Structure 1
Amino acid sequence: MQTEKSGVLWAVGSYLIWGLMPIYWKHLEHVASTEIVVSRIVWAFIMTLLVVLLIKGGRHLKEDILTLWKSQWDFWLLFFASALVSSNWFIYIWAVNHNYIVQTSLGYYMNPLVSVLLGIFFLKEKLSRAQQTAFLLATIGVAILTVSYGKFPWLAFSLAVTFAVYGLIKKKIQLDALRGLTIETFFIVPFAVIYYVWLFMDGQAAFLHVDSKTNILLILTGAATALPLVMYAKGVQRIPLYMAGFLQYIAPTLMLFIGVIVYQEKFERIDLLSFSFIWSALLLFTVSKVLEVVKMKKSLL
């Protein structure tokens, strides 16, 4: 029970950080989204590598890389995952700093549903009648948004798909959370460094050229990336998966609140109607998963 309690605290902490992150990125809206992303990659790599070395995990990190290299499929699959999550970071930061926080929250509400769809197609998982109904409700919600916007909500969809595919790959390749993040950022850091060098040579870099606050915030993007991921990994190891799934709605709910209340983004009746369908879908989906787990536990007694 104590282990599960600490797991809930770790998981809730990670989702609270993710949910509040739009405020952090807003303080960097004077910096180009591409520079924020490459800064995030570079500093996340430096920070995670230092932590791994400090906890004497260098040998394990080397073993992880060698094991991956022996399986070329896993090696390049993880490389693709690192490119995907970098794309997700860019879309998310660009959306926040261009006043699309509400759409980012929609994307992360859609994410678990897209993950389940991927599970059906690639892992041959099956859905119950309640879960099929949940998908129908979510589809109606997205359709309402599409009609009201006059175009498909590509930002939300891109966020949901890139993170869901990233999650699917991570499910197939089991790695320690901290060392896994170090390897992922290691894959993409050469491209980030080359781009940063070009920014400096072209005189477009904000780092070291604006003010000390900007420099500190850009350096801390590494911690902002790594900390919630490590907290999340610690949490999900200690709590049931259905509980982790339920708790993950903390983040997009906070994003939605921040977008509408703090930054005064548009949220009209049609948006409320659309989100209501999606919230209903998520509630139905989560309850059905909880009931499945309870039923399974009873059958084992």
Structure 2
Amino acid sequence: MHSTREKQASSSFKGNALAAFSFLLWGLMPLYYQYLPNADINELLAFRILFSVPFMALVFLLLGRTMPSMSALKADKRSVVLCGLASLIMCVSWYSFTWAITHGQVLAASLGFFINPLFAIGLGVLFLGDKLTSAQKLAVILGTCGISYMVYSYGELPWLALSMGSFFALYGLCKKFIRFDSLTSVTLEAIWLMPFAAIYLIWLWSSDQSVAISSALSGEVSVLLLYMGTAPLTLLPLVFFALAVRATSLSMIGLMQYIEPSLHFLLAVILFNEHFDQVKAVSFALIWTGLLLCSLEALPTLRHKLLANKHSG
């Protein structure tokens, strides 16, 4: 009995550690992209897609797992097609995020991932029949007020943050209907887009427009390596996250997801010296308040589940 309880506690701790580490890696990602200021985002996206496939193949090999057979894929064509749709949706979110952190807009990236849960709540209500709790309703109202205040003050929508938050929420919604495991679906998403990425990079090279390849040919191999490195950089946290989901509760993961935008915020203000004025302060404060209320509301449920698991052990 004690052995079972100890194993459950160990598994839960391992899952929590993996989840925290994945969000930490995502949160520190702007540090890497500072070596690629004003990067060619289209070429960067193509390199990221192309080298995602061999990287995920290596992950499967290291984990001792095998990709589903062609017969298994044919048996679930719907999920295969949804993986293609998910890859297109993720491209928009990743494109916006990458542009932001390579063009001095890390605060926009932070805002995008802070408001992502609000979009996710809305999509859950519209498409999954979810019912909002009192705290979630208030969080949506406060988040809407925060965005509205920013629009009123600046006279324009925060497009970068909204595109990141909304498309990442759509990506999560799409993944709800994919029956493959996380690692398999991520690999299939890259495979769907790999031919287009390869054709685009070949065209860039043949027309002498490739930044990375031209730099490598002129002796600056580091630029090419940085472009290629975006694949493991963005996928490694996802691998840790996929492993974490198996070992810990979604409630705990939900509470820890704010590690990422919090780190983005601190890096933007403290390290990158981005302008943080009164308007952003008010907008962020309203959104943070809503998310804090949701987190506080979730804590008793999380505590109850942890106690139930403990007693069942």
Structure 1 length as normaliser, TM-score? 0.92
- 1:36 pairs, out of 44, 48, 52, with 44
2:4 counterpart residue number: none
> Does the C-alpha gap of structure 1 residues 199 and 283 become closer, same or farther in structure 2, counting only changes over 3 Å?
same
Contiguous gaps of at least 5 residues in structure 2:
1-8
Task: Work out whether residues 41 and 222 of structure 1, in 8 Å CA contact, stay in contact via their aligned partners in 2.
Answer: yes
CA separation of 1:21/1:59 partners in 2, compared to 1, >3 Å: closer, same or farther? closer
Question: Cα deviation per residue 1:191-230 (whole Å; 9 max; x = unaligned)?
Answer: 1111111111121112232111112212221211221001
Which residue of 2 is the match for residue 157 of structure 1?
162
Residue 89 of structure 1 pairs with residue 98 of structure 2: no
Q: Give 2:68's aligned residue.
A: 60
Instruction: Please give the residue correspondences for 1:178-189 in structure 2 after superposition, counting only pairs within 5 Å.
Output: 178-189=183-194
Check if 1:16 corresponds to 2:21: no
In the alignment, what sits opposite 1:117?
A: 122
1:172 counterpart SS class: coil
Alpha-carbon shift at residue 169 of structure 1 (Å): 1.1
1:248 aligns with 2:257: yes
Instruction: Tell me the residue number matched to 1:140.
Output: 145
Q: Match of 2:246?
A: 237
Question: Where do 5+ consecutive residues of structure 1 fail to align?
Answer: none
> Which of 170, 175, 182 is 1:170 aligned to?
175
In the TM superposition, residue 62 of structure 1 has moved relative to its aligned partner by 3.6
**Aligned partner letter, 1:277:** L
Q: Is the 8 A contact 1:44 1:225 kept in 2?
A: no
> Deviation digits for residues 46-96 of structure 1, max 9, x if unmatched?
211233356554452545522332x3xx33222111111112111111111
RMSD of aligned C-alpha atoms? Answer: 2.0
8 Å Cα contact 1:7-1:237 kept in structure 2: yes
Post-superposition Cα deviations, 1:259-286, rounded to whole Å, max 9, x if no partner, equal: 1111111101221111011000000012
- Partner residue in 2 for 1:79: 84
Percent identity, aligned pairs only, is: 33
| Count of aligned positions | 298
Structure 1 residue 29: Cα displacement: 2.0
TM-score (norm 2): 0.89
Aligned to 2:15: 7
Q: CA deviation at 1:31?
A: 2.9
CA shift for structure 1 position 175: 2.0
Structure 2 counterpart of 1:173, which letter? I
Q: Aligned pair in 2 of structure 1 residues 98, 30: CA closer, same or farther (>3 Å)?
A: closer
